[in-house]
A = this chain, B = another copy of it.
Amino acid sequence: MEFFELLKRRRSVRKYKSEKIPAEVLEKIYEAIRWSPSAGNLQAYEVFLVEDRQRLSQLARAAFGQDFIAEAAVALVFCADPDQAASRYGARGRNLYALQDATIACTFAHLAAAALGLGSVWIGAFDDAAVWQAIGSPKGLKPVAILPLGYPAENPPPTPRRHWKEFVHPVE
């Protein structure tokens, strides 16, 4: 799909069909993530694929009862790897770059999902420790986003936005 068209069509989708996502479609999303830029190309992120129904329910509870997560075909959990970024960049790597790397990776996945006709929504509200446990307590990693994925069973209208003149500020 053409990029600017994609940006306008992307929605936050919270209702999914029961249809499974073919492995080759998921791989296209992983391939998109792969090309995301990262600080010093350290790729200080890891992605956890949750398919098991019980694990998805566990994520939904960890996200304070966002039950639609349990109805998704799969969910991707994006983790920052602060130690990886800190290994070259110290505190700034730990506190900023790792978080940005994982956030950019999730942005690429969210857009790729929309380009492939999938629905997804960025979940940021969750109990970090509970999500971390749901994905197997990976040492040193910090979950920063959950992205449930499925074929969309809703097509919500676009949400309103500021005009760009409200957020772009020319510096004198």
Contact = CB atoms under 8 A, between A and B. Distances in A.
Interface string A1-35: 11110111010100000000000000110111111
Contacts of A160: 41
B124 A97 contact: yes
Q: Which of A43, A89, A124 has the most C-beta atoms of chain B within 10 angstroms of its own C-beta? A: A124
Given A3-B3, A3-B111, A7-B35, A47 B169 contact: yes
B124 A39 contact: yes
B170 A122 contact: no
A129 interface: no
A125 interface: yes
A3 B112 contact: yes
Interface string A62-94: 000000000000000000000000000100100
A162 interface: yes
A101 to B, nearest CB: 9
B50 A162 contact: no
Q: Which of A97, A103, A138 has the most C-beta atoms of chain B within 10 angstroms of its own C-beta? A: A103
Given A7-B108, A49-B169, A100-B124, 19 more contacts: A1-B2, A4-B31, A8-B35, A30-B168, A31-B164, A33-B167, A34-B164, A39-B122, A46-B167, A47-B167, A48-B171, A49-B171, A51-B171, A52-B172, A92-B124, A92-B125, A103-B107, A111-B111, A135-B169
